[in-house]
Amino acid sequence: MNTSNWEYFAISKIFNSFERGKVHSQSSLPFGNDYFYVGAKKNRCGVMTKCGYDIDLISKGNCIIFICNGEGSVGYCNYMDRDFMASGDLILAYGNFLNQHISLFLVTMLDMERPKYSFGRKYGKYVKSTKIPLPVTTSGNPDWQWIEDYVKKNLVPKLPDKSKSVWEKNFDTKPLSNNKLQLNTKEWEWFRIGDYFDKPYKATAYNAIELITCSKENKDSIAYITRTDANNGCKDYVINEGFTDIESGNAITIGDTTATIYYQENDFICGDHMVVLRSSLLNKYVGLFITSLLNKERFRYNYGRAFNKGIVSDTRLKLPATKNAQGEYEPDWQWMEDYIKGLPYSSCL
């Protein structure tokens, strides 16, 4: 990439319009699963939770999101392709040239500005005046076509297969099952995790500086799972050098000091402070269902109150239930599996 002929453009000159997010308190969000609520965080495109419909709080999609507040993420940017609800800590930028390919490029360039800003030096005041270099046309305007072609040719082919299918819009949106189940939590019952899962344990911790990273496609690769809140907890893929404590797949991993919770389908090794949760009742679909509910407990835990082994066992989840031969309630594991299989995109899991 030759950037010698690129020119600097102020953000105010790049985009057509700007607006603030419309949600001033997460507690005011309508209940439901219709829209993403996006806040001041970098991971997961900033998605904090899902919420219901409120026309006064909806922001249009296909925009760049500037994170203007938040101690860990201020100065970063995200892209949202669909209508959503946004925190008032965000500035949303719109342009008639935007699409997902151009936005991937822009977010990467804009994130290079992040070191200039912090919790004490808010990004919001400087967003419009910030300048970034971009390739230009002969008329001196940003060369959006060059940017889109570059991303399609050089970046998209390097994505993992599932991610690539999303970008190329050839993924299968169909569910595994046409039996679409409806959630009715009023009929569910409370169950203690420790009564149905094996005793949680601390995984053997491997130090990142002692590992050799590699691509996922390497035949000797294995996932290195840490407390990161991105990429399903996978910090990197590393060379499997005959590790003595490889964790078998079909498990739930929990970063105890961060309450980062993911289902692991394949074998893996762990970083420090990782709790592993297993059960003979677990499979990929049940694991994803349970993980979603465990993540609802995250707000209770932080570095001062770790989601440790004992707390995991004593955690109670409200689950779909069925009665056994003795007339006692027990979790309806089959219903959980059927529910996940009935969701759109479940054929891609």
Give pTM, 2 decimals.
0.64
Query: For the chain, which domains are there?
Result: 7-167 (3.90.220.20), 185-348 (3.90.220.20)
Give pLDDT tens digits for 268-299: 999 999 999 999 999 999 999 999 998 887 76
* Contact between 295 and 312 (Cβ < 8 Å): no
CA count, 13 A, side-chain hemisphere, 310: 2
Token representation of residue 100: 């997902």
Token representation of residue 84: 């959503």
Q: Is residue 11's pLDDT more than 70?
A: yes
* Burial tier of 23 (Cβ tally within 10 Å: 0-12, 13-18, 19+): buried
pLDDT, averaged across the chain = 88
Among residues 299, 336, 338, the alpha carbon closest in space to that of 191 is found at: 336
Residues recorded for the chain: 349
**3-class secondary structure, 147:** helix
Token representation of residue 338: 């059927």
Among residues 202, 208, 207, 319, the alpha carbon closest in space to that of 257 is found at: 202
Give pLDDT tens digits for 96-119: 999 999 999 999 999 888 877 655
Q: In this predicted structure, what is the pLDDT of residue 322?
A: 93
Q: What is the mean pLDDT of residues 129-158?
A: 92
Residue type, 38: V
Q: Is residue 120's pLDDT more than 60?
A: no
